[in-house]
Each structure stands twice: as C-alpha cells, then as structure tokens.
Structure 1
C-alpha cells in the first residue's frame, strides 16, 4: 500500500467515521484490507451499497490472497433457515437491504452480535430509506458495533443545505475524514514516481469551430430564457460553463425537483434542450463528421421545430450549425446539382472531413514503434493502451487503424447516407467481418501494421510478425472503474494514449505508476485546445476542488453532539415515541388522564406490512413513530392496520397503471370481501405537487378527468372502499398512527391466510361471470354473501322461487333477504296519462303483488 492508502486505512480502523476521497485514489484497496481483517468466523460484518462488480472484485482479491473464509452473499434464493445458519457462522456478508430489514424485524439475525456495518457509496444514504432503516435498527439494539462509511463522490455533498451533516446524522457517525488529491500525504505519495506526460493540444477544424460557437450561442440563449421565465431559480448553478459538465443535469434536477410541478411546459422543454445541446458538443469532438451530421439532420425537422424543442432550431445560430455540419460531409457538392451529378462528384473527390485525432493517433503509434525498434534488445513487445470514452469510439479507432481513414469514411457514408446521396467507392481493401462466436476471422493486413485488440467487446486481431507493439483499445464505459483499474495491472502498458480524457482514469494511472516505480510509463494526453472538451475536463477538476474546500470548512465549523453515535445515550434518530413528554410520563406510570386516572394495560401498536412494501420509505417511518412492523407476504392489501382496516398503497404512477389494466378492481374486490373497512391510499411524492394538475404526473394522453372518472366508478362499485389522499410518506405515517388509536391490533396468522385462491367451495372462477356480475348488482347482495347464493342455486330461476325465509337462512340476514326478495317480486306499474298532461307530472306508481311459489 502507498503511504496515503495506509494512513487512510489506519484512520478508518481506529474510529468510526465517514471517509470521503477524490475519484481514482484507490479507496477500494482500503476497503479490501478492512475486509481482510474481518473475514473471520469470530466476526459478523455486513456490507451495504456494494454493486455486483465490487462484490466480485473483493471476493476475487481475497481468494488470491488465500483467504480461507471469503465473504458470502445472501439473496432471495437463500431460504429463511439457511440465512439463520449463515448468520450464526459469522464472517463478512453481502446482503440485499430488503432481506436484511425483514430479518432484523423478525429477529432472525442476532443484531446484538453484529460486529459492524460497512457502508459504501455513503452519499446515497439520503436517497435510500432502507439503508437508514437498517442503521437505525442496528444502533437501537447494538451499542458496541462499528459503522464505517466511504464515498468517492465529494461533489454529491456540496448540493443542498448541510448535506454532509445530514448524511453523518443518518449514519450515526461523528468523525469526518477527507482525502482530496491536493492533500499533503496524497500528493507526496504520488509525486515519488510519476508517469511521463506528453500533452498534445490539437486544433479544431474551421467547421468544428463554427459548430462549437453556434451551439454555445444557442446554449447561452436557452439559459437566458430559463432565467427570464424563472427569475427565482438559483443563478449560480444555471450558467453556460456548468451546462457543459457531465453532472450538470443531475444537480439541476435536484434543485428543481421541489418546484418541478410549478414550472411551465416551456421551461421544462428548455431544460431538456440544454441536455440535447450538451450532447451535440460531446459528439462534435468524439465522433466523426458523418455521425454528427446524421444526428443534426434528425433535429432539423418541422416536428422538432414545433413540438419537440423550445424554438432554438429557428435561430440564426441553428442555421449556422446545420450548414457547417453538412459542409463537413459535402464540402464540394452543390445542392442544385442532380443526384447523378452529385454521385459522380463523390467518386472524384474525397471531401469528407477526417477526425483530427485519427491522424495524431497514427503519428504517435509510428513514433512509439520507431522508439521500441531502436531500443528493444530482448525481442519483447511493449503494450500500447488507447483509452476512449465508449466502445463505439473504440471501434472507430480500430477500424481506422485497420483500413485507413478514406475507406472508413466511405463505408460509413454508404451505411448512413448512401441511399439518399449515392454510394461511394470504399477502396481496394475490403472488410472481413467476424462471423461465428469465439472465432476470429483473418482481416485484411492493417494499414498501420499493428496487432489490435478491443477490450470490452468482441475482439478482432490481425496477426502480423514486421509488428513491434501490442495494441489494446479500451472503452471506459464498457466496464466499471474497478475493471479499468484491473486492466492497467493486468497488461501493464508501457504507453497510454488518452484519446478521451477522464479524471478517474488519470488518477488511476498515477496510482498505477506509484505502485510500479520501475515501470516508466508514458502518457499521451490528446485534447482539442480551446474546446468544450478541454473546458469540461477542467470544470470537473475545479468542481471537485471546490467541493473539498467546502467540506473542509464545514468540518471546521460543524457542531456534532456527543450522542450522535447513539452508543451511550439514545439520540433523536433512535427515538420511537411520537407522543408528548406529559403523555409519556402518564403512560409510564400506567395511568391515563382520559379515564379519571384508572389503570390501563399497555398494548404495543403493530402494523402488518407486505414484504414488497419494504422498497418504500413508509415502513421505516412507521417504525420510527413507535409502531412495530410485522413483515408478511400478503395476498390482500399492503398494510393491515387493524382486524377491520386493510390499506392498498398506490403511488400516482401505480394508480394510473392499475386503473388501466384493471388490477385495482381485483384488489378492491379482495379487500371488500375480507375486510370491513377497505381503503385505497394514494400517496404523492413529497417533492412534488399534491394534485394531478400539470404534466408532472400525467402525460399528454392521460387527462385529469379520466383518472377521476375511473376513481368515481370504483367508489360506486365498491361502496365500502374509502380513498385516502396523502401528500408524502411522512403524512401517511401520521395518518396510520391516528387510524390505529383505540382499535385492536391485527392478527398476522389471519392476515397471512386470506387470499383470493383460498375461497374453497366459493371460488368465483367456476361461476358464469355474466350471471355473477348481474347478481352482484342486486339489492342485499354483498361480496360476502354472493357466493352463498351462487353455491345454492343452479340458475336465476331457482333464486326467484325461494321464499323470503329461505333467503334469510341462506344469506344470514333478514334485512338483506327482504331487500333481495322485494327487488325480485315487486311489480312496478305506470298508469296511463293523457297526452295533454305535462311530462313533469308523470310519476310512477308502485304496487306490490305477492307471487306464490311455483315449480317449473
């Protein structure tokens, strides 16, 4: 380990805390060494927040080091009994948050025996209700175990008010450890052995400069329009410089989410246009002119100008953008010439603009081969690694090195624009495609005489013995940061070409060189001078530096209470009693003021929750209000508050989908049959509007009136169904608490046995659905007694022949029997009226007539 890695590891082990490090500083190595300490049957350590790639990486590295007790993973495939056995065996466990919450509530895992919890990606703790719930359950019953949190995203803590303090509060952590790139120990460790860096500042072509200027002007216009329409928005976030950043839209969305429903449709379209325009700037420097022109042509349509944009396509800058993009492909073609003339002109001249980075890559490879040939003595080949942003760019670089620029551009022209403008001559060299999985077909001899291998996709290798280097091309987006780091240590490249810049990978190169001081690495840094690409790279570094500076100031000024960790005295986060102190005192003395000081037994409030509901925040909030949670797989309802009250929770999106596919009708039928007070809870987002208005919830093809009309039909068909409207999960928890006051607690065994498929002889599937629906609409018929009628009557004629007494025995209610018998046997007679009588005076006359029972 490097010096700063060792110091980071020791500080994390000595005390519980939140460790925030800059991207690429190998925090995963610190966590790996921590796992080596705790991978023992005498410990029980839980890992939260790890992705599948990270879990595989930690497991593989531990097995390489000879770890005899590697981490285990618990998923839904592991049975309950097996999970309890794994918990007792100890060690390090990867476990899904939903399973862990349920096992903690059901006391299947010994919480008091847990050694500690390691939280990765701690910046997401505010968005993950389950992680916060787990930590609160853990700290309530375990005052000795540790909590150690890690994050490699300092920018995430710069948004919002006191973000780092709120994260530390949810983590039950008092200490904050910061490791920026400019930290003294980090800088000293990396400066011991640094790679040789060759910066190559390329010049944009004339047309590329025109396009970049035009797009920036459109972005400036769009930003001004957003500010003009919304003067209350934060101006420090909404700037032209920030719009070119990769994380701009994520940060902007966080700022706008609370007021998104208040924004006009034009404002939302302007924000979407900013994202489109930023993509144009990225594609300009990353892809070829043909791909870029094809994208621009898709934006220049009448539909786009009217419906899909805020009107920027009508600006003069947009016209410049369209013309310059076309001239990069058709520089010598006159639009007035016919198609045949244009085709012939295409064959005469190769006027397609070549990507400037291609030429530089070719020159660098020739320089490397000459150097290797001059100084190589043992006949070994050095590895050259070319880093691109994604696999598409990697494929273009590979094709360029194999068939040359002219053949590649002509092939792309024929593929994208050939049908419209005529095909072009691809050259003498023909591409041989790789056919068959696992077989590498022999391609034509590469123009640049290299052995090319793309990592992350199907490789195409050209075997050539006059070749001096092994060339590997890697798209960063094709794998995780751990896979990119592992690639450096596996192939140990002597030369690295950064075709596209990435801050995380640049730091990984620094760490790689510091760990291999004897390997003299040379890095070629390719970047367009004065371009948006350069500015975006510098903006990422600047924002990270500013985020760390803010965190340093916050650390120096923040006031942290002594009971923050909850190890000695329970803090507010661990409190579960929502009542007032006076009420708590009275109940602690087993006295109630409402009944004149009489003693009353204390009964713990309980709610039965469906297992699938633990993806939401509501179970955590109910538990925090002092209500015990009993997780069970329910077939009817989501929450059972009392023996009579069953609640089906729906978000707005779930409500729309359930109304459209009819699922809500079946759910309401089941709740109405088994519970006296079925309820439908419609829960809105606490960051959005508490209404259906606007386009925030409903799309253009779904109207507010459509949803309300379906809800009205639902309430008419199910008179017992009550609809609850809640603006947020916090309001729902308070509503449930009030509904449970003074009522009995639900029975888990009874709730678990109720289901549509447990009707036995009264199963509705064996009855005629038309007759059943008709019968359900008759007076006196309910969802509870309808199956009594269906089970005892062969047809409707048999039902008519029963007396009122027979119906009362069958239905179990004289009132229901009277209503049904009257509806079947009463006759309605309408007397004849003169034609001169007004329609307002027409009134029906009801005359009852008893019909004797007859057999047919």
Structure 2
C-alpha cells in the first residue's frame, strides 16, 4: 500500500509520497531552485509541496506559470483535486478571461495558474501586483531565455515581492552551459537539483523503455530527384561565390550556416550597399528554399515534397511573391523536379515502416496507444492518411494553431478534444508535430515512433518521455542512411549526453545548502539519509507614455517599464505611442512596414498620424528592411521619401525593441521634462477628404504610389479622365513610365471575367 502525503492544505489520500519528490521539494524550499527531472516523474507534485509549505508559512498567493492554455487547464484540474482550499481561491488566468474580471479575481485568489503572457500584460497595465506572491513555479522553465515573458515576470517578482521564492521545473534544460546559465540568471536561480532515471530513489518508479533505431535506404528514384535539386544548389552556390560570398562546405552546409550568412548580408545593407549585396540576399533565399526541399526528399517523402513545391509555385505567382521564388519557379531543374514528383508514384520507404510498426503494435496489443512524431505538417497528414487505410488503426492528426496555404491549424479547444478522444480510445494513434512534445496531459503510450531524428536534445527528450510512464514503453526512430537524418541522430545523442554531464557538474558546483524541513511537514518515518536585480533608470521616473493596447504584445512596453517609465495602456485610434500633446509615434517592424506597403494600409496610417499630431514620428525597427518579401529597394526608398517629404513625418531607425524603448523614453523626457509638455491623447482617425479618396482609388493600381497618383490627378483633373486616357497621354505625365501606363490601360480597358 502506498503512503500518502499528509499536510493541512493537501487533501488526504490524493498524492502518493515519493522520497525523491520530497528531497527535491526540500531543496526548492531552501532557495530558488531549478529542478531537472525526467518526464512522467511528477514535477507538478514537487510544485504542489513547495506551494503548500509557502502558503502555510507565509500566506499570500502562490502562482504556477505554464506556456499554453491546455497546460494551464491541466494544472488547474490537478490543483483543484488535491488542494484543501475553496475552489474559488484556485483560479485559472488565460487570455480568454476578461482583463477587468482578472483584476477582481486576483484580489480573492490564493493559487493562480496562468499563461505567462497574461501575467506580463497584467503587470504592465498595473491590474495586479506581485508584492504578496510568496512563490512562483515556472513550468517548462527552459523557455526562460531571450524575450520570453518568464524573464520579465521573474525580474518584477524579485523586485517587488516581499518574500520571493521561485521554482523552475523542466525535463530538459539544454545541453550548452550558456543556455543553462541564461535560464538560471533569468529566473534568479541559486541552486540546481537533478534526478535521473538511474538514481536509487527514482529507480522504483521507472518503467523499462526500449529504444530502437531502424536504418532505411533512400530509393534510386528519390536519389535522382535529390540530384536535380543538388544541381540547382550547385548553380546558386556558384553565383553566390561570383558575388563575393563563397560557401566552402557546400555539401554539408547547415541551416545555421545559411542563417548566419543572411544575418551578415542584412548587416551590410546599412548605409549605401553595393548592388551585389541585394543580389546575394536574393540568391541566398533561393538556396534556403532548395536546401529545405532536399531535406524533405531525404527525410520526409515525395508527398511532402509535392505539397511544398505547390506552395512554392503559389508563392511565386502571387501578388507578393519574391524574386527568389519567381526565379526558382522558372528554373529548368526545378520544373523537372516538379514534373517527376507529379508523375512518380514512389514514396519514401519510411512510410511503409510506419504502417508495419504501428499495425504490428496494435495487432499484438489492441488496447495500445501510439504516438507518431513528424517534424512537418505535410508529413503528418500523409502518415495519417496512410494509417487510416489499415484495419484497427484509428489515427488523428495533431498540429499547432497556425494556419497557412491549404493547411488549417487546430484551435486549443480542438487540441484538448483530440487528446480526450485519444485517452478514451476513439483514436489509438496520434500523428503529431512538435505541439505534442511538451507538457500536455497525453496519456502514457506503449509506442513512440520518430519519423525522423531531431538534433534538439530538449525536443528529443520530451518526445521519448511520452512512453514508459506507467508501464513498459518502446521508442523507435527511423533514420535514412547517408542523409542528414544520420547527422541529426548523432547530434541528438551527443547533446543529450552533454546535458546530463553539464547538469551534474552544475549541481555539484552550486553551494551546498541545508535542506528545508519539508520532510517533517509532509511525512513521518523517513530514513535519515533522505533528510538531507534589477534597477530603474531614476531619470525616467516621472516620464509617462501612452501605449496602444495592441503594442503590449511587443517587448517595447516591457523595456519601457524596465527604464522606469510610467506606462498608460489605452486603445489608440491613431499611433502606437503618445509622448506629448504634439508627438505620437507609429512603430513598425521591418516586415510589418513592407507588408503594410503591399496592402496599402501604410499611407492611411501615416496620413491619420500627420493630421492628428503636430510632430508625427515613424519608427522602423529591425535591420532587415531591404530584405523583406523580395521588395524592390527603390519602392521602399520611394515610400520613405514620400512619408518624410509629403506627409512631414520624422523617420527613426532602431535595431530592436530595447533600442526603440530607449529612443521613446529619450524623446518623452525631452518633451515632458525639458519642454514641460503634457501627454495628451487627441488623435482620431479622420474620414478621408474627397481628394484623398481620389488618390486612394488611383494608388490602388499596382506600381502606383501616392506621388504618382497625385501627378495623374493633377494632370487629368479627375479619376474618370485618368481611366479614359490613352497610352500616349499617360506617358507624358511626370512619374509615369511605359510599364505603368500599360498597366493602367490594361486595368481600365480589359473586359471583366471571373
């Protein structure tokens, strides 16, 4: 008979007593701790023990942060079942809960389970304060790097809480010392506690997990398609070399190498770059697309390649298609690939292996559950379709929320429903992408099948952890010989070993601390061997900036708060930031700037800004403006010129969100402190005047910007006369060349056909 945890705040006979969990919880109560524990061994129970102890000793609130809504709901269900607290004191915060309601709920809650983005927003908008929070658990804490919300919340927590303590829990913190150190620094971690499947107090709870590697040959027909793609790569590498950007390890070039060169080229776009830089960027875009196609042939299959080629073709002939995609669509070898893929009835032999392995598993054990992991959605769809043809196999595709061309994602509600149906046996095979790797309450499975190896040790560990939880499990990984599958296989193994070694070293290097008396709080009869900043920028403390509600999703607001600026969140009709009664700012990331040029929204926003404020500002953030969506640099320069000269808007360029925040706070300080100006929200969208409506109609014709539209209207006098003008009349107008004149005549004079 198992022993159960006994504590005033935990319901009797609900949580099994495990010594390794008590040991880890004791360490986590002594100081802020990163706990690394294999998947399926009850990291949430450790969080429960620490929260119960902190609530009993210090009161206040405790909080659990988890990356996704399904995870939040899963944790909330567990805590409501085991905490001896009124249910109205155990609260779930997600984006679907009204912000005003969250502020009211916060006052009454004792245990808060939330997504980090919601808590970050509520801190920024001052709906909540963390001063009386006595503990925070950061679930899947390996995410606490870069600009992820965990980092900001931890900063504010240790800055404002009267008695802070945090716990980071993860199965896989990463293999590099730098990654682990960044997680610890972000969460103010002072101690690391690691348990592995070989530790003596963990061994009784470990079930056998067999790991098999099946090596597969690539068929001759698929090698021929790969050879055609390699010829395209060879040609593009040669052109890149001619432009002065050689890649020396062409046969073994990695995605990381290509991205590194892309970053270098984007850096060279500043100032007055040579034409070769633009050419190199465009050719590199082709290489990245073809390199991805090669990976699909080697590791996925022809059905996935067929879908990818179809998307490339759609991109090439769409209105916003890049020059790179257009050139590829016209390439002789690419056309041969498309034709062969279309005519070939061959498929990657991996698919037959999947069908055989899954069928044998379910035939021998009809009540089994199986997860098949695939890196790409197209492959997941192909596998699902193939498995559905086998009697007794009931597969379902399980993907993320994002949708793209001919590929609709699943909402979180749909994801939860599918998992419940998988538990109930309505489906017995889950064909999943990375969305099923992390944390979701997917039942223990008999078999986990990798369609391909993955180089990430974090993701590999998460996938393997989906079996061997409550009974023996089996992991099978399919590897195509002589391809990047093998490289990923060795990379993953090496990184997993390195991670285990690093964690042990880090744990040993941390200062020894006396364990908390948690074992006395929760248990009796335990063997003796088990009882073992941030600063504001003061000069900004009186500065206020009004921030549009939608901008909270960027990290600019977070960086403003770090600088001590008082943020006032409002829904703004005009602009993103208001710095004084005369200055409002529109912020656009490079990609967003180009997209708004294409969909014609840019000049409407700029016009509203310039009409509403005396000194309007546009900030363009990021260093890749001239490398977005294959946009002609002359078109971008033309738009920037019009914004500055025609609309009188000041242009500023920033590297990133932190740089933007520094610029905003500096301008706001100058206005509010030096010039003694008030922050005044008075901008509203103006109804366009007749001339602006006329300009809008003409500028909706491709290749015609605001300046050319005004030239046409000034020359002909009306929209009607512009449309009636013939080719010879049109080319006499300033800013109208032969190509534009021909386009106007084509649109105005062609018969309408649906």
The normalised TM-score by structure 1 is: 0.57
Matched residues in 2 for 1:772 and 1:295: separation?
A: 42
SS in 1 for 2:368: strand
Matched residues in 1 for 2:377 and 2:76: separation?
A: 27
CA contact (8 A) 2:303 2:347 kept: no
Q: Pairwise CA RMSD of aligned residues?
A: 5.5
CA contact (8 A) 1:24 1:507 kept: no
> Per-residue CA shift, 1:784-816, capped at 9, x if unaligned?
xxxxxxxxxxxxxxxxxxxxxxxxxxxxxxxxx
CA contact (8 A) 1:652 1:684 kept: yes
2:552 equivalent among 614, 625, 629 = 614
1:147 equivalent among 166, 186, 209 = 166
Larger Rg: 1
Q: 1:548 to 1:242 in 2, by over 3 A?
A: farther
CA contact (8 A) 1:118 1:148 kept: yes
Q: 1:268 to 1:193 in 2, by over 3 A?
A: same
Matched residues in 2 for 1:148 and 1:195: separation?
A: 29
Q: 1:207 to 1:54 in 2, by over 3 A?
A: same
> Per-residue CA shift, 1:279-337, capped at 9, x if unaligned?
33443256554664676699799x899943698999999799789768xx56xxxxxxx
Match of 2:420 in 1: none
Matched residues in 2 for 1:78 and 1:607: separation?
A: 24
Match of 2:537 in 1: 576
- Please say if 1:670 is aligned against 2:628: no
Match of 1:832 in 2: none
SS in 2 for 1:741: helix
Match of 2:673 in 1: 741
Match of 1:712 in 2: 645
Match of 2:401 in 1: none
Matched residues in 1 for 2:236 and 2:204: separation?
A: 42
1:542 equivalent among 489, 494, 500 = 494
Match of 2:619 in 1: 683
1:277 equivalent among 278, 283, 290 = 290
CA contact (8 A) 1:394 1:473 kept: no
Q: 1:652 to 1:190 in 2, by over 3 A?
A: same
Q: 1:679 to 1:102 in 2, by over 3 A?
A: farther
Match of 2:346 in 1: 353
1:14 equivalent among 30, 34, 39 = 30
**Deviation at 1:59?**
2.0
- Please say if 1:202 is aligned against 2:216: yes
SS in 2 for 1:454: strand
Q: 1:278 to 1:19 in 2, by over 3 A?
A: farther
**Deviation at 1:714?**
1.4
Match of 1:383 in 2: 368
CA contact (8 A) 2:214 2:476 kept: yes
Matched residues in 2 for 1:637 and 1:225: separation?
A: 43
- Please say if 1:531 is aligned against 2:483: yes
1:61 equivalent among 78, 83, 89 = 78
Matched residues in 1 for 2:632 and 2:164: separation?
A: 49
**Deviation at 1:659?**
6.4
SS in 2 for 1:669: helix
- Please say if 1:454 is aligned against 2:396: yes
Alignment length, in residue pairs? 610
CA contact (8 A) 1:385 1:473 kept: yes
CA contact (8 A) 2:383 2:431 kept: no
Q: 1:45 to 1:274 in 2, by over 3 A?
A: farther
Matched residues in 2 for 1:157 and 1:256: separation?
A: 27
> Per-residue CA shift, 1:142-185, capped at 9, x if unaligned?
34212334566645967xxx665555444444445567x7x964
Q: How does 1:281-296 map to 2 (within 5 A)?
A: 281-284=294-297, 288-289=301-302, 292=305
Match of 1:477 in 2: 433
Matched residues in 1 for 2:130 and 2:369: separation?
A: 51
CA contact (8 A) 2:395 2:428 kept: yes
> Per-residue CA shift, 1:609-666, capped at 9, x if unaligned?
4444433444444444444444455556554545x44322322556663864523322
Q: How does 1:284-433 map to 2 (within 5 A)?
A: 284=297, 288-289=301-302, 292=305, 307-308=323-324, 329=343, 352-353=345-346, 355-361=348-354, 364=357, 381-383=366-368, 385=370, 387-389=372-374, 393=379, 396-397=382-383, 400=386
Q: How does 1:802-821 map to 2 (within 5 A)?
A: none
Match of 1:44 in 2: 61
CA contact (8 A) 1:217 1:317 kept: yes
Match of 1:112 in 2: 131
- Please say if 1:647 is aligned against 2:584: yes
CA contact (8 A) 2:74 2:441 kept: no
SS in 2 for 1:208: helix
**Deviation at 1:549?**
6.1
CA contact (8 A) 2:138 2:167 kept: yes
Matched residues in 1 for 2:158 and 2:631: separation?
A: 41
CA contact (8 A) 1:394 1:474 kept: no
Q: 1:222 to 1:143 in 2, by over 3 A?
A: farther
Q: 1:400 to 1:637 in 2, by over 3 A?
A: closer
- Please say if 1:265 is aligned against 2:221: no
Q: 1:140 to 1:360 in 2, by over 3 A?
A: closer
SS in 2 for 1:112: coil
Q: 1:670 to 1:171 in 2, by over 3 A?
A: same
CA contact (8 A) 2:192 2:506 kept: no
Matched residues in 1 for 2:241 and 2:23: separation?
A: 47
> Per-residue CA shift, 1:109-133, capped at 9, x if unaligned?
3442122333345555554386555
**Deviation at 1:80?**
3.5
> Per-residue CA shift, 1:413-449, capped at 9, x if unaligned?
xxxxxxxxxxxxxxxxxxxxxxxxxxxxxxxxxxx65
Matched residues in 2 for 1:92 and 1:313: separation?
A: 53
CA contact (8 A) 1:607 1:746 kept: no
Matched residues in 1 for 2:137 and 2:144: separation?
A: 13
Matched residues in 1 for 2:96 and 2:44: separation?
A: 27
Q: 1:744 to 1:366 in 2, by over 3 A?
A: closer
SS in 2 for 1:109: coil
CA contact (8 A) 1:196 1:523 kept: yes
CA contact (8 A) 1:269 1:310 kept: no
SS in 2 for 1:703: helix
- Name stretches of at least 5 consecutive residues in structure 1 with no aligned partner: 331-351, 373-380, 404-447, 460-468, 560-570, 580-602, 672-677, 716-720, 758-763, 774-856
Matched residues in 2 for 1:611 and 1:400: separation?
A: 46
Q: 1:541 to 1:313 in 2, by over 3 A?
A: farther
Matched residues in 2 for 1:191 and 1:208: separation?
A: 45
**Deviation at 1:16?**
1.0
- Name stretches of at least 5 consecutive residues in structure 2 with no aligned partner: 1-15, 399-409, 416-424, 512-532, 694-754
SS in 2 for 1:83: helix
CA contact (8 A) 1:210 1:320 kept: no
CA contact (8 A) 1:391 1:474 kept: no
Matched residues in 2 for 1:28 and 1:257: separation?
A: 44
**Deviation at 1:52?**
1.3
CA contact (8 A) 1:73 1:94 kept: yes
> Per-residue CA shift, 1:521-564, capped at 9, x if unaligned?
455444333333233233233345556767888899999xxxxx
**Deviation at 1:55?**
1.0
